[in-house]
């Protein structure tokens, strides 16, 4: 059986590319190495409780436009719940509980007003937030209209950027640094400023809901991965799990695709694997990919550790609370988020390099002690079970000096890249992964419209090396979008 496009990797990038291409009428084959779809945003069944447990809590923001488009396409919009406006309960290291709540005002005044009302920090410190208005406005102008420049240097860290723009220490510790850690998965003193400024600019878009938090109300695999599979299959495509795949390159073009060692037929390939799996997914004469392979090989990773605890009673007053300054910066009550099918709390430690090698017992104890310090009533609850999930390569590092991120186009005809680590400008996020999948799909659709072969980063503007007409998807089939 032959396909128009083969997609290697069934995470958010691969599935969003597959859904977009399928919606346009292409016959798509998705090959995923693992037994289940979803990659770094997936769930599994806990063998003891039988509950679906996420590989780590995932949050979306209201500004994740391409993600919402993808969810709508695969009929999964109802699987996330978006706050009306940003509302974040927090308990600081002294045990003081406050909520950052944004009033219904136009953006960015809603956030500024929310900060000015927020009694977690002194008024003078809160006022320093106003100094960010100018750089954020400039960043938005740059991102939307390409005017001016992004007001952040790739050589400066988030911490130095915040200091440069006059953010008071307490405001940094309580708001900006926890936000940066959550969004970038790297401490503010390590991560480069530009992706953070980009996130800020997107959150402070025209709609105040852009900065609101959206939470999956189903375990991740059921939330988007299985709906995406059903959608692709309903369009005549195939999604194969437990199917490690590889592209063979010869004479500067895709020569063959092997899935579990067997050949598969498709003239175009989207490689939607993470940076650390790239080298194993290509074979043959890969000279044209040498710079990308070198960048992928030298990219550093940042871990996330999640501790899941089961108690004999409800212990959180709401679905989640931020614990700034602690090892586990956020805790989520999955019962309040997912309903009665879940009974555990998930504690998230982002930028977890310093704890990723600690023992499970130590991590569970730390999570328990930190929550009990914030909410002393927790001490009277009985802990029934703990389950630790370590994602050692959760995200790529955003530290200054990391290798450049590759474009979707490669130097190999018929081969495109997707994945959160490709050049999206965003940190490793759901939105970045979906953007990259959409971008690869769009390049294929454009090339199909113009009768060209996508993937030629160098020679893309020329019409050399076109696909044989019979291998090219029909133009009409590509124009419709569901």
Q: Shortest CA distance to 140 belongs to which of 162, 114, 107?
A: 107
Q: How far is the CB of 26 from ligand FAD (least distance, A)?
A: 19
Tokens of 99: 């909520």
Q: How far is the CB of 286 from ligand FAD (least distance, A)?
A: 14
Complex with ligand FAD: residue 11 or 151, whichever CB lies closer? 11
Q: How far is the CB of 479 from ligand FAD (least distance, A)?
A: 27
Rounded Cα gap, residues 390 and 56, in angstroms: 9
Q: What is the dihedral of CA 407, 410, 414, 416, to 10 degrees?
A: -30
Q: How far is the CB of 94 from ligand FAD (least distance, A)?
A: 27
Q: What is the 3-state secondary structure (H, E, C) of 109-175?
A: HHHHHHHHHCCCCCHHHHHHHHHHHHHHHHHHHHHHHCCCCCCCCCCCEHHHHHHHCCCCHHHHHHH
Complex with ligand FAD: residue 41 or 307, whichever CB lies closer? 41
Q: Which residues bind to ligand FAD, rule: CB under 6 A?
A: 8-14, 31-34, 39-41, 55-56, 58-59, 244-245, 272-274, 277, 280-281, 304, 306, 391, 394-395, 419-420, 428-431, 433
User: Strand 80-82's sheet: what is its strand order?
Assistant: 60-61, 213-216, 80-82
Complex with ligand FAD: residue 151 or 194, whichever CB lies closer? 194
* Contact assessment for residue 355 and residue 345, using Cβ atoms and an 8 Å cutoff: no
Complex with ligand FAD: residue 174 or 228, whichever CB lies closer? 228
Q: Shortest CA distance to 83 belongs to which of 209, 182, 204?
A: 209
Q: How far is the CB of 401 from ligand FAD (least distance, A)?
A: 21
Q: How far is the CB of 316 from ligand FAD (least distance, A)?
A: 18
Q: What is the 3-state secondary structure (H, E, C) of 321-349?
A: EECCCCCCCEEEEHHHHHCCCCCEEEEEE
Q: How far is the CB of 428 from ligand FAD (least distance, A)?
A: 4
Complex with ligand FAD: residue 51 or 420, whichever CB lies closer? 420
Complex with ligand FAD: residue 29 or 121, whichever CB lies closer? 29
Complex with ligand FAD: residue 31 or 358, whichever CB lies closer? 31
Q: How far is the CB of 164 from ligand FAD (least distance, A)?
A: 26
Indicate the pairing of strand 383-396 with strand 301-311: antiparallel
Rounded Cα gap, residues 244 and 210, in angstroms: 37
Q: How far is the CB of 281 from ligand FAD (least distance, A)?
A: 4
Complex with ligand FAD: residue 281 or 467, whichever CB lies closer? 281
CA 101 from chain center: how many Å?
25
| Helix%, strand%, coil% for the chain, nearest 5 | 35, 25, 40
Q: How far is the CB of 65 from ligand FAD (least distance, A)?
A: 13
Q: What is the 3-state secondary structure (H, E, C) of 42-59?
A: CEEECCCCCCEEECCCCC
Complex with ligand FAD: residue 132 or 281, whichever CB lies closer? 281
Complex with ligand FAD: residue 353 or 459, whichever CB lies closer? 353
Complex with ligand FAD: residue 112 or 301, whichever CB lies closer? 301
Task: Tell me if residue 271 falls in helix, strand or coil.
Answer: strand
Cβ count within 10 A of residue 440: 32
Indicate the pairing of strand 87-91 with strand 97-101: antiparallel
Q: How far is the CB of 72 from ligand FAD (least distance, A)?
A: 17
Q: How far is the CB of 55 from ligand FAD (least distance, A)?
A: 5
Backbone angles phi, psi at 204, to 5 degrees: -100, 40
Complex with ligand FAD: residue 129 or 441, whichever CB lies closer? 441
* Contact assessment for residue 359 and residue 338, using Cβ atoms and an 8 Å cutoff: no
Task: Tell me if residue 421 falls in helix, strand or coil.
Answer: coil
Rounded Cα gap, residues 456 and 34, in angstroms: 29
- Long-range CB pairs of 287-291, under 8 A, 24+ apart, other chains included: 288/249, 288/252, 288/410, 288/411, 288/412, 289/249, 289/410, 289/411, 289/412, 291/406
């Amino acid at each position: 059986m032959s396909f128009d496009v083969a997609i290697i990797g069934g995470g958010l990038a691969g599935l969003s590319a597959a859904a977009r291409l399928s919606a346009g009428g292409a016959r798509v084959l998705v090959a995923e190495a693992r037994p289940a779809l979803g990659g770094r945003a997936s769930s599994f069944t806990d063998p003891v409780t039988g509950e679906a447990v996420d590989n780590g809590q995932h949050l979306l923001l209201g500004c994740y436009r391409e993600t919402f488009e993808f969810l709508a396409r695969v009929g999964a919009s109802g699987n996330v719940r978006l706050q009306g406006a940003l509302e974040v309960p927090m308990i600081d290291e002294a045990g003081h509980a406050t909520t950052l709540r944004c009033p219904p005002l136009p953006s960015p005044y809603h956030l500024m007003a929310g900060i000015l009302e927020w009694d977690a920090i002194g008024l003078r410190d809160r006022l320093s937030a106003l100094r960010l208005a100018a750089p954020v406005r400039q960043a938005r102008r740059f991102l939307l209209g390409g005017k001016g420049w992004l007001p952040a240097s790739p050589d400066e860290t988030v911490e130095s950027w915040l200091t440069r723009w006059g953010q008071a220490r307490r405001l940094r510790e309580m708001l900006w640094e926890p936000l940066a850690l959550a969004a970038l998965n790297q401490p503010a003193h390590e991560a480069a400023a530009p992706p953070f400024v980009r996130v800020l600019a997107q959150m402070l878009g025209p709609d105040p809901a852009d900065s609101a938090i959206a939470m999956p109300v189903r375990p991740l695999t059921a939330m988007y991965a299985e709906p995406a599979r059903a959608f692709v299959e309903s369009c005549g495509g195939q999604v194969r799990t437990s199917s490690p795949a590889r592209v063979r390159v010869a004479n500067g073009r895709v020569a063959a695709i092997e899935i579990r060692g067997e050949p598969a037929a498709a003239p175009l390939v989207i490689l939607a694997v993470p940076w650390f799996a790239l080298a194993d997914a290509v074979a043959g004469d890969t000279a044209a990919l040498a710079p990308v392979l070198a960048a992928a090989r030298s990219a550093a990773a940042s871990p996330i550790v999640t501790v899941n605890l089961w108690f004999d009673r409800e212990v959180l007053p709401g679905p989640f609370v931020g614990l700034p300054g602690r090892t586990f910066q956020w805790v989520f009550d999955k019962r309040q988020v997912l309903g009665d099918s879940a009974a555990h709390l998930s504690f998230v430690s982002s930028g977890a390099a310093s704890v990723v090698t600690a023992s499970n017992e130590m991590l569970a104890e730390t999570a328990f002690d930190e929550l009990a310090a914030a909410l002393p009533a927790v001490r009277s609850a009985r802990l029934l079970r703990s389950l630790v999930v370590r994602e050692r390569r959760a995200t790529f590092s955003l530290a200054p000096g990391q290798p450049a991120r590759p474009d979707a186009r490669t130097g190999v005809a018929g081969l495109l890249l997707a994945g959160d680590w490709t050049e999206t400008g965003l940190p490793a996020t759901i939105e970045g992964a979906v953007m990259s999948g959409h971008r690869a799909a769009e390049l294929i659709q454009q090339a199909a419209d113009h009768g060209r072969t996508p993937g030629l980063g160098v020679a893309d503007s020329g019409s050399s090396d076109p696909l044989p007409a019979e291998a090219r998807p029909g133009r009409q089939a590509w124009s419709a979008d569901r």
